[in-house]
Structure 1
C-alpha cells in the first residue's frame, strides 16, 4: 500500500461520489487533503470587474468550509493554502514525502496549464500525479465516438447518446481518513485575504440575501432532495428545457459540491413514470456536451470567431456601449432588470441569460467575449464550458 498521497481538491468539493478522493483513501495509509485558493482567480480584468467576483468568492469560501467540516466528521481535515496551486502542491508533496498527488481532471486552459506545471514540478521528486475524470456522467472513453468526431450540435449528440446511455455507479464515500502526524490545516481565508474588499458585497446584495444560495455539499444534497420531493416524485411540471439551471442545481454542480451522477441516480427511479425526469437527464447530457465541445475545440471557444471560426464576422469593441450594458442603463428594461438581478444575486434563469447575451451580441453588436467575461465574474454557478458554449451559441458562432 502507498504510504502517503496528497489529495488536491479542485472543482470537486464533496465526499459523496468523489471517485478520486475515495481512491486515495483506499490506496494510501495516509491522505493529505488540500485546497489552494489561487489569487489569480480573483484578479481584476481590463474592464475593472474581477474574474471571479465577491459573490462567487463568498460561495466558494462557504463550500470549502463545509468540505472541511465533513472531512473532520471522518477524522480528517482540509489543509488550506493561498497561492499558485502548481507550486504549493509540489511543495507539500515534498514536505509530506508523498508518493502521489491525486486530483480531478479539468479541461479548461488555465486548469490544464496548472496540471502540466504541477506534473513537471513533482516529476523531479519522483512523485506522480494521477488524474480522475469526474465532471460528466461518463468519461471520454465511454462515448460511442472519438472526441474528434463529436457531433457539432447537441440534438445529434443526444440522439446518439440516449439509447445506450450507461452511467457508472456513483463512487462510495470514504468511511475514515487518516492524517499524518503534525498536520496543520490552516485557516479558511476571509475575503480581504483574497484581496477582495468585503464592501464589494453591497447593501443591494445583502438585501437580496434571501436569494443568495449557501455553498457546500450539505446544502447541495438537501437541495437535490427538495427538488426530487417537490417536482419529480409528484410529477410536477418543471416548465423548463434547462432545469439544471432553472431549478438552481447548477449552483452546486459548478464547484462539484454535487456530482452529475448523484443527480442522475436520484432521478433514476422516476424515469419511467415522470417525463420531466427525462428532461433533467437530457439537460445533464447537454451539460456533458458543453464539456466535450470545450475538449474538442479548445481555445476557439474563447475567441470572437467562436467554434465556427467566423473570421469574417465583425464585433464592436466600444467600451461605453458595453458599460451601459454592465451598468444596466441600456434602452431595454428587461435586459437592465436581468443585469441588476445578476449583480445582486449572482443568478439568472436560462431565459434571462439568453436575453442579456442576445441583446449585447446581436442587438448592440458588441464583442460577445466581453459579455461572457462579465457572466464569469458574477454567475455563482459559473462553469467554463457551459458559459462559453452558451455565448458562442447566442452570438451565432457556435451550435448547440
Structure 2
C-alpha cells in the first residue's frame, strides 16, 4: 500500500499544486506543515529566521489551507518542533512509503531532505519542481553553465515557452486511521487564532499596507491587479516608494506558494492578449525572470549565497560596527529617507524595491557594515522573504554577487530628490522630527564624539 507523507512547505495552495496532485494519487495520505523551533533562535547575524509579521502571514495561510483541505477530506497537521525529528517520527509511525516535497533551492530545505533520506533510505522521495517557472530539464543549458549575469540569462530564456497549463485537485485519499502520536506539539485552530490575534493586537496602530496570508487572498490580488490598467504603466511607476498599484504586490503570496509562478505568468499573457504587449508588461515578465535567475543561481552556488565573499575573489572592505547596525535597525541613522524606509519595513513587513535598494546601499556603503547582517535582518522582517532573492540581491548591492559592475552605491541625497522631493513619504514614516547627525558615539581612538 502506498502510504504518503506530503510535507507542505512554500506550496500552500490547492490549485496548480503539482505536489498535491501527486499526493492525490496515493492510497493513504498525511499532510504536514512544520513550524520549526529553530526559526525563533537568534542567529550569528543577531536576527531571527522568522519575525512576528512573517509568522502571522504564514499562520493565516496555513489556516486557510487547512480549511481548504478539510473540504477535500483531508487535514493539515501543523507541528511545532524540529523539522527532521518530526518528519522522521511521522515516517516511522505510519510506515511511510512515499515522501512528497516541493523542490526549492534553499540550504535549509536541502539539508532537511538529505537528513531524511539518510534516516529513511527505503522511502521513495519525490521532489516536485514547481517553485520556478521552468524545470531544470527545460533550461537550454546545464545548471553548471548558468549565465554569469541576469542580462545574459534573460536573453537565453526569454524565447522559452513556459508551461502554464494548471492543475486542479478535486479529491484526496483518506487519512490514516491511527491518530498522530502525542509527542508532536500540534498547533490547532485555537492556538493559531491566539497567535494571529496576539500579533494584531500588539500592532493595532500600524499604518501602511496589510497583507493577508492564504490562497484566496493571493488569488484576489492577482485578479485585482490584472483587471485594472496598472500593468500597462508598471515600468513608469515601479520605482516609486509608495502606492499599492505601483507594483503587483504579489511577491508575498508567490514566495509562500499561495499562488504559483505559472498563475502569474498566465495572468501576464492574458493581459497582453486583451490589451496588447507593452514595455510595462514585458517588464513584469522580466521581474519573473529576475526571480527565476536567482533561484537557479542558488541551485548552482548553494552555500556561497550566504558567505561574506560570495562570488567575488576577495572579501569586501566592510566590517561590523554594533552601534551603527543598531541605529540602522532602529531607524536612527543620519539619513532621513533611510530611517523612513526602515520604519515602514519594521511596522508592515513590506518595503518597495527602491526602498530596499536604498537601505541596503546605506548599510554597505555609508555604514561600512557586513552585508550579511542586513540580509539576515531582512529575512526576519520581510513577509515576502525568499532566500535566493533576498541574499542574491544583497550580494548584488555589496559587490560580491552577479552584478558585473561590482556592486551598487546609491547617492542618498539624489535618491531623496528623485523619489521623495516633497518629503511626503518621510512625513508618513518618520516618527519624530529629530534627526541624528552622527553615526558613532566614540571616535576611532575611543574618545566620545561631541
TM-score (norm 1): 0.90
Deviation (angstroms), 1:192: 11
> What's the offset of the Cα at 1:52?
1.1
Give 2:331's aligned residue: 328
1:94 to 92, 95, 110: 92
- Determine if the alignment matches structure 1 residue 290 to structure 2 residue 294: yes
Offset at residue 100 of structure 1 (A): 0.8
How many pairs does the alignment contain?
391
1:365, distance to aligned residue in structure 2 (A) = 1.2
Confirm or deny: 8 A CA contact 2:234 2:247 kept in the other structure: no
1:51-96 deviation per Cα after TM superposition (whole angstroms, max 9, x unaligned): 2111111111111101101101112111121112222112112222
> Helix, strand or coil for the counterpart of 1:137?
coil
Partner of 1:158: 154
- Which residue does 1:72 correspond to in 2? 70
Matches within 5 A, 1:1-400: 2-26=1-25, 28-46=26-44, 48-123=46-121, 126-183=122-179, 187-188=188-189, 190=191, 198=198, 203=202, 205-208=203-206, 211-231=209-229, 235-237=232-234, 239-240=236-237, 246-272=247-273, 273-275=276-278, 276-311=280-315, 313-400=316-403
Distance between the aligned counterparts of 1:374 and 1:219, measured in 2? 26
Q: CA distance change for structure 1 residues 245 and 107 in 2, over 3 Å: closer, same or farther?
A: farther
Paired residue secondary structure (1:37): strand
Work out the CA distance in 2 between the residues paired with 1:308 and 1:105.
28
Instruction: Describe the shift of the 1:225–1:177 C-alpha distance in structure 2 as closer, same or farther (beyond 3 A).
Output: farther
Q: Deviations over 1:121-178 (max 9, x none)?
A: 122xx32221112111011111101111111111111011112333252233343442
The residue that corresponds to 2:445 in the other structure is: none
Most deviating of 41-50 and 105-114: 41-50
- CA distance, structure 2, for counterparts of residue 355 and residue 221 of structure 1: 30
Counterpart Cα distance in 1 of 2:52 and 2:378:
13
Rg larger for = 2
8 Å CA contact 2:208, 2:348 repeated in 1: no
More displaced 10-residue stretch of structure 1: 331-340 or 256-265: 256-265
Shift of 1:377: 0.6
SS of the residue 2:301 aligns to: helix
Q: Secondary structure at the match of 2:125?
A: strand
Task: Return the alpha-carbon distance in structure 1 between the equivalents of residues 305 and 2 of structure 2.
Answer: 42
CA contact (8 A) 2:234 2:283 kept: no
> How many angstroms apart in 2 are the aligned matches of 1:292 and 1:202?
40
Deviations 1:182-207 (A, max 9, x none): 4568614747999x9957x785x322
Structure 2: distance between partners of 1:50 and 1:237: 33
1:31 deviation in Å? 1.4
Cα distance, 1:325 vs structure 2: 0.6
- Residues 348-392 of structure 1 deviation map (CA, whole Å, 9 limit, x = unaligned): 000000000001101221111110011011000000000011101
CA distance in 2 between partners of 1:384 and 1:280 (Å) = 21
TM-score (norm 2): 0.81
Counterpart-to-counterpart distance in 2, 1:315 and 1:197: 41
Structure 2 unmatched runs, 5+: 181-185, 404-450
- For the 8 Å contact 2:14–2:169, the answer to whether it is kept is yes
Distance 1:16 1:346 in 2: 26
SS of residue paired to 2:290: helix
C-alpha distance in 2 between matches for 1:232 and 1:165: 25
Cα distance in 2 for residues equivalent to 1:106 and 1:41: 18
